[in-house]
Amino acid sequence: MEAITKFSAQQFIWLVELGESFKNYLLSFSYIITGRYSKKEFIDQASKFGFDTLPVVAVVTFFIGLALTLQISKQLMGIGNTGSLGTSVAVSIVREIGPVVAGVMIAARVGGAMAAEIATMSVTEQIDALKIMKLNPLSFLVAPRLLASMIMTPLLTVFAIYIGSLGGMLIAIVYVQMDPYMFFDAFRSVVGNRDIIIALVKAFVNGSLVATLSCTFGMHTMGGAAGVGQTTTKSVVWAMLGIFLFNFLITNSVYSVGKVLDPAFVK
């Protein structure tokens, strides 16, 4: 009976972890609002989220823009409608690919490293040492990372959209022989402030998820080196699942509300 109870508890431990993550997010956000966080740590983490991740995001989004535009152009050339290539690429990159790719790259590049760093501090009792020195781990470790992620992820998303669009334009010029001005005119005709705001909201949520989950899992790590490895993997997997889930929920909510308020929104 004890084994059955233990097995059942292990199956739902993720609910406890998600609840703990949400609590840590609220507390850390309150520390950010009140300014009770380490400014030096924030600068260091902003550099890791921003400049260190920039090359990876640039390369990935550029090649995704190439591949996406190539696939769309083949379909449109088959029906003789290459004039709408810019609009199709714009909708795909701005609304979905830019925010998702930037979030996934941050989760893989920074989230895993962040979880491993804090997990190592946990198993070596450095977090307990912070408590002994009267330093709150949430304000000293989590809040700076959360703030850096919430600021830098939207900026990286805008950068990803720009680089992906350049990749799309390159295929449109070389493969379809489309005038670049025509491509970007079509791009501007379909992308408005509303789409940029939605992309930035997704990026803000993605950044919050990566930082909160990575830090929470890291602070509750046990089991030495094996525990650090498990925490790193778990943080990346859960962050990516959260990114895809919330991307769908935000998109579905926007379209559902937009369809009610403005029937032309989904056209």
Domain spans of the chain, in order of start: 15-34+56-250
Q: Confirm if 213 and 239 have CB atoms less than 8 A apart.
A: yes
Query: Tell me, what's the pLDDT at 259?
Result: 57
Q: What are phi and psi of 47, to 5 degrees?
A: -65, -40
Number of helices (H), then strands (E), belonging to the chain: the values are 13, 0
CA distance 74 to 175: 9
What was the pLDDT predicted at 50?
Answer: 78
pTM: 0.85
pLDDT at 3: 46
Are 202 and 96 in contact by the 8 Å Cβ rule? The answer is no
- How many angstroms separate the CA atoms of 50 and 208, rounded? 15
pLDDT at position 260: 54
Q: Provide the 8-state DSSP code for 188.
A: H
- The pLDDT value recorded for residue 151 is 92
Weakly modelled stretches of the chain, pLDDT under 50: 1-9
- Provide the token pair at 209: 């998820």
At 154 the pLDDT is: 92
- Cα-Cα end-to-end distance for the chain: 58
User: Taking Cα atoms as reference points, which of 247, 17, 243 lies closest to residue 108?
Assistant: 243
Q: How far apart, in whole angstroms, are the C-alpha atoms of residue 53 and residue 60?
A: 11
Q: Torsion angle, CA of 14/16/19/25, rounded to 10 degrees?
A: -80
pLDDT of 172: 82
Backbone φ and ψ of 179, nearest 5°:
-65, 130
How many CB atoms are located within 10 Å of the residue 152 CB?
24
Buried b (16+ CB within 10 A) or exposed e, 179-203: eeeebbebbeebbeeebbebbbebb
Q: What is the pLDDT of residue 252?
A: 85
